Chain A
Amino acid sequence: MGRLRVTVETLAGLMIFIGACSPAAPQPANVMNVIGEAGRGPGAFAYPRGIASAADGTFYVVDKSARVQRFAADGTFLVEWKMPDYAGGKPVGLSVHGDGRVFVADTHYHRVVVYEADGAELARFGAEGDGDGQFRLPTDVAFDAAGFVYVAEYGGNDRITQWSPELTFDRVVVAGEVGGEPMQRPAAIVIDDEQTLWVADACNHRILRFSLDGRLLHSFGTLGRDAGQMRYPYGLDIDAEGRLVVCEYGNCRVQWFDRTGRSLGMWGGAGREVGQLNSPWGVFCRANGVVYVLDSLNMRVQVFRR
């Protein structure tokens, strides 16, 4: 009996010692990688505001130095290029087409610029204005299965327009009042497998779901900090299980929703530590449950598994 007692006591002491000595700021177990730091060099960010994933596992980030950078999934810097004009303002969003083309919403030049994966410019479309074929501060781009391109814009002209695969203007999909409120800064759009359009209506703090002909199917979200509420949803993606992943600029967190708008959980919180976010602008998820979130004012991308 005495032997057992000594053994148990010593092991308990050891456990207490290990517990007491665990690192002061433990890295959250689910953060897998932190990519980037403040700077203007390759792999560094100067207030990054747009992030998008490509089908081949790479991803792109555009920042306030007007650079588009491409990274491997593990954060290895691959290539970068600069926007053609940037003195008047920098892009805030970009998306990657299934065929690898990169569509950059060149916000302050009121157009979308299309690039090859290596940065060779392919096309530009749109011009400043409120009319057909024009934009005012475009924010994000999405693609449907038929090859049509959708562009969100704000600045008093808050709407979603549809463009043909040849990048000519087709029609306005959504504009004006939606559910009793005019859209205010649709900051992110994404089209799911069921070919419905999800819109992060940032300044109304809500998520909207439309059919591709512009019919409102569903809307959820109110301003607040509780689960199910949101504050400036700037980033939006849909994960492999069909859940919505929303990146909240205002609440500095990522929140999951099912398709009915029920909150499934949150990650993050305002701060500068790993596992915390400062004014995040974008998010995307990978098939294996891995989420990349653009931690904008911390000048980095955090990769975590939910």
Chain B
Amino acid sequence: MIAAFPWDIPLSFGRPEWLWLLLLAPATALGSWRALAGLGPVRRAAALAVRSLVIVATALTLADVNRVLRNDDLTVLFLMDRSLSVREHADRQQQFMEDVTRDIPADDRTGVIDFAREAFLEQLPMKGGYFLERGRLPELPNVERTNVAAAIRLAMAMFPHDSAKRIVLMSDGNDNMGDVLSEARRAKADGVSIDVAPLWFARRNEVYFEKLSAPTYAERGELVAIRGNLHATSHASGRLDVYHNGAKVALRDEYTRMALRPGNNAFVMKLPVETDGVQRFETRFVPDDPNMDAIVDNNQASSFSFVSGRGKVAVMSMDPAIDGALVDALRRENVQATLVDVTHEIPDPAGMIDYACIVLANVPANVFTEEQQRTLAAYVEDMGGGLIMTGGDDGFGAGGWIGTPLEAVLPVELEIKHKRIIPRGALVLIMHSCEFERGNAWGVHIAKKAVDTISSRDFIGVLAYAMGGESWEVPIQLATNKSAVKNAIDRMGIGDMPDFDTTMSLALKGLTATDASQKHIIMVSDGDPSPPSKSVMDGLIAQQITVSTIGVGFGSHVVEPPLRDIASRTGGRYYPVRNPRTLPQIFVKESKVVRRPLIVEETFVPTVNYAFSDLLTGIDPSEALPQLDGMVLTTPKDAAQLALVRATTDGNDPLLAHWQRGLGRVVAFTSGYWPKWGTAWVRWSKYSKFWAQVLRWTMRQDAPANLDTYTVIEGNTGRVIIEAMDKDADYVNFLDLRATVLHPGRGGVPMQFVQTGPGRYEGTFEIDQTGQYVATVNVFQSGAYQGSLHTGASVPYSPELKELSTNDVLLEQVAEMTGGRVLDVDATQSSVVFDHDLPPTESRRPAWEWALTWLLLPAFLLDVACRRLASWVALSLFVEVLILAVLLFGMDVIHTHWWGVLGVILLAELVGWTIRFRSIQPCLEWLTHTAAVLSRTGDRSAAALAQLRTVKDRVREERESASVTGGGASGAESTRRPTAATVDPRRRYDTGDTGDRPPEIGLDEALGGATESAIEAPKRPTSATDAGVGESEATTSRLLRAKRRARGDTQSGTGPAPPSDDDPS
């Protein structure tokens, strides 16, 4: 429970119920009033006030007092739409931000978030306006969608808590992901106002493809009908180009000429299909008048059909000259093999589906993107495709496949698990990636990628410059625990490195200390650190440590000469990188350099390990297989069948292993690299038969399910509909459909089917980027596999390109919902954007600790001091020090201006001297009085002598008269004696003030001794003896004492101690 203090006092309480304690303050004051009577009125009042303060401070502390800070500073976060539909408006938005932030209040903060499918923070909320340079905004990863909700969400997380919050949303409002309105509601609840600046545009003349569809399945030789739908905003004419499997179809003009009316224009076209496999159809509309069509990217559409036939095989190769022999051998055995040069093209998902088997012939991992690697794995596990990997210097572990999605699919482990000693590799990463946007995040990502690629038997170390100098962010170590290494990489700080020498010499030292046979350094930098010294370079060369350098700048300057020089002198490579997205692949490629120890280049004769393997049918186990001259070391997986091995004294190394993985079959042949390692194999009479046999075992066994299927795209959702009827035209119910969609960015994604009617099943998948979505559905009935079917759809362009105008309705709704305004992005409205019209923010800071330290504790000490410190001087000093401490440190005046400090000192002195004045005053009075006494002493002595003389005379007279009359005492004499009422109490030092001092009062008894009473009410004699002799004796002794005192004064010069009113004793 939080209770704010009323009357606008900036305090609030966490547990206000404790404030009832405050009632104790008056009660205590009343109760103590009498008990403290001995202190005198001033001290008593002060003591009670201080005691009340103790109670107040205790109550505040227990009530969890908070300071409420009100702040009317403003933070404005600009959300900048960078999706495809407004890509030409980036400058307009930047101009707007520059204009409105030009003359803003000094304490107001500005931040910038840009967004398309995802949102990114480009400028932290900071004072001083907008500072991003034109043309320097980093490229966003996916601009094919607009996700305003994500941008608002990020903005909410980025606002500082102590200022008013405003979002300025610059967008065309064509949101196609997320839920803007619910995010706006959340913003409203958090007190955030969203102003909108619509990016106005309207495309009057536009033609775009609404859709193009082709039947999922077709038969060879039939005419396939493709149906299209073109949308036009106005009358337009043009030509329709049709492509089939990439080649333009020659059609007569009467079929291709199109006159479009406003609205949808449907067409049908029938094309003959002559080949097996995937048939791709693509259509492009070319307007006669380019002015009739603002965006050309949306004039195309594509679709595909599957034609079943004999299985095709793709042999993927880096060098057709090396792997051509295998392809030829397969063709001789009537296998429909195609050589795919992966340096030029990688098949898309539908293209992969087209192949019943894919052979990766000595292909390294870095050729494929992560998405493609995931697709390959899904191709095997979910689509039932066959995969064969053959070795070479770029195969298996040596090809950087460790840690990839494909490693799980292969029948062999790429790491060497058994105990034999094989040479290790050692890799050191030198990271200086701080010089470009999000450079450090990239640095972490690519370093982790390198860790994934190396074997756990290799050494890894990461060096960077952090605050205070170069250091091993990951000390060089065996990569046994890769997750620990990656955690360390996550924590690393990458600073601005002054020179390469220090990090490189650390790397040299670290690598030299390892027993690795292959030592490699990857260094990423903008090249501006000082080059390494000659001794370090010589050391690297002598140790045969290779250094590959990666120049990163992305817009800013890269100092290339030193980077090139380091690489060329050590035998490494230099990569000038233009796009950070290529960094991971470069890192994988470079990391596999240290995997060379996995390659064994020695001649051996393969040994049959499992003669009953399907792959060895027809090969006599007693027959000697041709020799091989090299292989890549791997470890067999438990479930795999090990058909051929290389037998050594240390154990068997897998040569030919195979297994079933998911729906697909996979073969690993760890040799290969035919011209170098397998010349004898290529000459072997059974070479082609062997490989044809391996391929036939591996190929997908298509069992097409006899089901009607089609796929439609509805916004961000793809829907696959299957209608199942048996041969008697009865609906087939309760089928078990297990489906996977190959997503263009994410690989295989499972898809759920539900039966929506008799014999009708539907499944959906998410569409969030352009590309092909290919679904494979495996049909099971009563637990038995019935066959598979493939279907899919193409998303040829982003929905952003279909937008014809600004969705101002949505934007206005957002503004209205959050109390924002609609701004004109082309007008300067700085005064509006940075108007301080939002309620000030309140933030609460706990103050109980302060109250405890600076209120309760001082008040408590003061309370004790008021009662216990008898001396006013000591009390004044105490109070002075307390005031100084509380104000200077507790209130932090010491950190303000000098005059603040001076003011505090003056205040403390003022209070101190006010208290001291009570003891100073009597001192002054005593001094003046002493002087007066001294001056009067002579007169009084004379008067006393006269009086003595008078007494003497009177005594003589009385004696004489007694002798004459024998008379008694005279009552008149007593009236001349001074009475208590007429004596000034302060004149007790006077000769008239005899030993009738106030009673001695012990310190303990009086709790500080009522000094007031000591000086104000000395007890006076209220009666005197009437004895004349006694009186004369008293007078005499008083005279004598006064004389002694006067003498003492004049002799010592100091006088007797002044009457101490601060000492009750």
Contact = CB atoms under 8 A, between A and B. Distances in A.
A151 to B, nearest CB: 17
A44 interface: yes
B556 A23 contact: no
Given A23-B889, A232-B498, A7 B882 contact: no
B868 A278 contact: no
A21 B501 contact: no
A28 interface: no
A4 B1063 CA distance: 11
A17 B885 CA distance: 9
B597 interface: no
A41 B98 CA distance: 12
Interface residues of A, number: 51
Contacts of B890: 21
B857 interface: yes
B957 interface: no
B126 interface: yes
B555 A87 contact: yes
A137 B557 CA distance: 11
Interface string A63-93: 0010000000000000000000011110000
B969 interface: no
A37 B858 CA distance: 36
A82 B562 CA distance: 29
B95 to A, nearest CB: 17
13 contacts: A6-B870, A14-B882, A17-B861, A21-B885, A39-B131, A41-B129, A89-B528, A89-B557, A156-B562, A203-B498, A232-B498, A250-B469, A297-B495
B133 to A, nearest CB: 8
Contacts of A38: 124, 126
A294 interface: no
B1003 A41 contact: no
Interface stretch (B393-401, B828-836, B873-881): B873-881
Interface string A12-27: 0111011001110001
Nearest to B531: A156
B854 interface: yes
Given A7-B874, A21-B854, A155-B559, A40 B128 contact: yes
Nearest to A108: B557
B555 A18 contact: no
A235 B332 CA distance: 75
Contact of A40 (B129, B501, B868): B129
B466 to A, nearest CB: 9
B1063 A3 contact: yes
B889 A44 contact: no
For the complex of A and B, 4 pairs with smallest distance between CB atoms:
A41-B128, A40-B131, A88-B557, A203-B499
A46 B131 contact: yes
B559 A137 contact: yes
Given A156-B561, A250-B468, A279-B467, A11 B877 contact: yes
Interface string A233-276: 01000000000000001111000000000000000001000000
Given A10-B868, A279-B495, A44 B878 contact: no
B193 interface: no
B708 interface: no
A158 B126 contact: no
Contacts of A23: 889, 892
A57 interface: no
Nearest to B562: A156
B865 interface: yes
Given A17-B858, A137-B528, A158-B530, A88 B556 contact: yes
Contacts of A18: 881, 885, 889
Contacts of B128: 39-44
A72 B259 CA distance: 72
Interface residues of B, number: 52
Interface string B105-125: 010000000000000000010
**Residue of B133, B135, B864, B890 ringed by the most chain A CB atoms within 10 A:** B133
A202 interface: yes
A179 interface: no
Contact of B127 (A37, A185, A232): A37
A10 B869 contact: yes
B533 interface: yes
B895 interface: yes
Contact of B498 (A15, A22, A202): A202
Given A184-B499, A184-B501, A41 B556 contact: no
Contacts of A86: 133
Contacts of A159: none
B467 to A, nearest CB: 5
Contacts of B556: 87-89, 108
A131 interface: no
Interface string B844-870: 000000000110011001001100111
Interface of A: 2-3, 6-7, 10-11, 13-15, 17-18, 21-23, 27, 37-44, 46, 65, 86-89, 108, 137, 154-156, 158, 184-185, 187, 202-203, 231-232, 234, 249-252, 270, 278-279, 297
B498 A185 contact: yes
B496 interface: yes
A27 B861 contact: no
Majority SS of interface residues in chain A?
A: loop
Contacts of B895: 27
A18 B887 CA distance: 12
Contacts of B562: 155-156
A7 B467 contact: no
Contacts of A22: 889
B996 to A, nearest CB: 25
Contacts of A17: 857-858, 861, 885
Given A3-B871, A41-B131, A184-B501, 8 more contacts: A6-B870, A23-B889, A23-B892, A44-B127, A137-B559, A154-B530, A156-B562, A279-B496
Contacts of B557: 88-89, 108
A231 B499 CA distance: 12
B528 A155 contact: yes
Contacts of B127: 37, 39, 41, 44
Contact of B881 (A14, A249, A252): A14
B136 interface: yes
A65 B1063 CA distance: 72
A297 B496 CA distance: 10
Contacts of B495: 279, 297
Contacts of A187: 498
B530 A270 contact: no
Contacts of A11: 874, 877-878, 881
A48 B993 CA distance: 82
A297 B465 CA distance: 13
A296 to B, nearest CB: 9
A251 B881 contact: no
B764 to A, nearest CB: 47
**Residue of A27, A86, A185, A202 ringed by the most chain B CB atoms within 10 A:** A185
A131 B864 CA distance: 82
A22 B888 CA distance: 10
A278 B495 CA distance: 11
A18 B883 CA distance: 11
Contacts of A252: 467-468
A14 B557 CA distance: 62
Contacts of A278: 467
A6 B1062 CA distance: 14
A250 B857 contact: no
Contacts of B882: 14
A249 B133 CA distance: 28
A43 B127 CA distance: 10
A251 B469 contact: yes
Contacts of A234: 498
Interface in B891-914: 892, 895
A46 B130 CA distance: 13
Interface string B1050-1065: 0000000000000100
Interface in B534-589: 555-557, 559, 561-562
